[in-house]
Amino acid sequence: MNDILLDVSDVHVTYQKGRHSFEAVKGVSFLLHNKETIGIVGESGSGKSTLAKAIMALQPCSEGSILFKGEDISSFKSAELLKYRQNVQMVFQDATGSLNPRMTINAMLDEVLSVHGKCKENKKGRILELLDLVGLPSAILNRYPRELSGGQCQRASIARALALDPCVLVADEPVSALDVSVQARILNILRELRERLQLSVILIAHDLAVVRNVCDKVAVMQNGLFEDFDDAEKVFSSPKSDYTKRLLAAVPDVNRALARFYPA
Ligand SMILES: Nc1ncnc2c1ncn2[C@@H]1O[C@H](COP(=O)(O)OP(=O)(O)O)[C@@H](O)[C@H]1O
Ligand SMILES: [Mg+2]
């Protein structure tokens, strides 16, 4: 059985501004299989969000191709694109900013389901199910995003992304704006959802520690290219590129740090 959902092949993305052009992604290739989680890590400006936008068909590829279940997404017309964006959903870093400030959480989820004609018979039930999936209490349904914490907003935006039963979730730095303790909870939710809903996930982060315990494979991106791409274990235990080695060396060693403060 062919279980390849996304086939990203030699993708280049170029931004054009007047006579100036800038190539933000310079030839990236990878396959995303069914139920697989791939982490993409790299410093700010390395091209992670640009690659995510290309995968979401929000930014065209200047070279290369992205196939979804064997079909080139650049050939999709509006109806196919709508279907594609139901299948491949995105979660953004700035959860509060990506939610409509004038809509309660209930209205937001209701709208997503209505626009796509989903769950007409039992919309309320589906909304409660979505809240349950991300661990939000039903008491927040009538609240506006500004009345929620950062972590609750991120849970709500994950619920919105799941509303249409996607098979792929692209999460662009979903925990970067959150406190460390909240980060761990959101990552746990993503891990649980992946199992419960059989999701494939592309998890983007600027911090190797974020992807370490969540991803099957890890890509380390620098300057528009994958410097390393392998099983997560291998990238952490025997990184190929010097850049990855430097990144790994920069991950703070909690035990060492604690030992400084609490010597034996
Ligand atoms: N809309 C745009 N127009 C021109 N350049 C852009 C645009 N968006 C991003 N860039 C540039 O592309 C490079 C990669 O950006 P981005 O994909 O956002 O990186 P990352 O998500 O890894 O921080 C950066 O140098 C950024 O300045
Ligand atoms: Mg980014």
In a domain, 143, yes or no: yes
In this predicted structure, what is the pLDDT of residue 262?
A: 55
Is residue 45 within 8 Å of residue 224, measured between CB atoms?
A: no
Residue type, 117: G
In this predicted structure, what is the pLDDT of residue 201?
A: 97
In a domain, 76, yes or no: yes
Does 50 contact ligand 1 (Cβ within 6 A)?
yes
Q: What number of CA atoms fall less than 13 Å from residue 127's CA on the CB side?
A: 21
In this predicted structure, what is the pLDDT of residue 181?
A: 85
Does 22 contact ligand 1 (Cβ within 6 A)?
yes
CA angle 136, 218, 256 (to 5 degrees): 80
In this predicted structure, what is the pLDDT of residue 96?
A: 84
Pairing of strands 37-41, 217-222: parallel
Q: Which ligand ends up closest to the CA of 221? A: 1
The count of structural domains within the chain is: 1
What distance in angstroms lies between residue 38's CA and the mean position of ligand 2's atoms?
16
In this predicted structure, what is the pLDDT of residue 260?
A: 56
Does 166 contact ligand 1 (Cβ within 6 A)?
no
In this predicted structure, what is the pLDDT of residue 259?
A: 58
Question: Could you tell me the CATH number of the domain that includes residue 183?
Answer: 3.40.50.300
In this predicted structure, what is the pLDDT of residue 121?
A: 86
In a domain, 264, yes or no: no
In a domain, 55, yes or no: yes
What distance in angstroms lies between residue 48's CA and the mean position of ligand 2's atoms?
5
Task: Determine the atom of ligand 1 nearest the C-alpha atom of 46.
Answer: 22
Q: Which domain holds residue 97?
A: 4-251
In this predicted structure, what is the pLDDT of residue 195?
A: 92
In this predicted structure, what is the pLDDT of residue 256?
A: 55
In a domain, 259, yes or no: no
In this predicted structure, what is the pLDDT of residue 42?
A: 94
What distance in angstroms lies between residue 42's CA and the mean position of ligand 2's atoms?
9
Does 15 contact ligand 1 (Cβ within 6 A)?
yes
The residues of the chain scoring below 50 in pLDDT are none
Shortest-distance Cα residue to atom 10 of ligand 1: 24
Task: Determine the atom of ligand 1 nearest the C-alpha atom of 221.
Answer: 22
Task: Determine the atom of ligand 1 nearest the C-alpha atom of 51.
Answer: 17
Q: What is the DSSP letter of 73?
A: G
Q: What number of CA atoms fall less than 13 Å from residue 159's CA on the CB side?
A: 30
Is residue 39 within 8 Å of residue 211, measured between CB atoms?
A: yes
In a domain, 206, yes or no: yes
In this predicted structure, what is the pLDDT of residue 116?
A: 85
Mutation test residue for ligand 1: of 11, 12, 14, 15, the one with most atoms within 8 Å of CB:
15
In a domain, 39, yes or no: yes
Shortest-distance Cα residue to atom 26 of ligand 1: 45
In a domain, 166, yes or no: yes
- Say how far apart CA 78 and CA 112 lie, in whole Å: 17
Does 224 contact ligand 1 (Cβ within 6 A)?
no
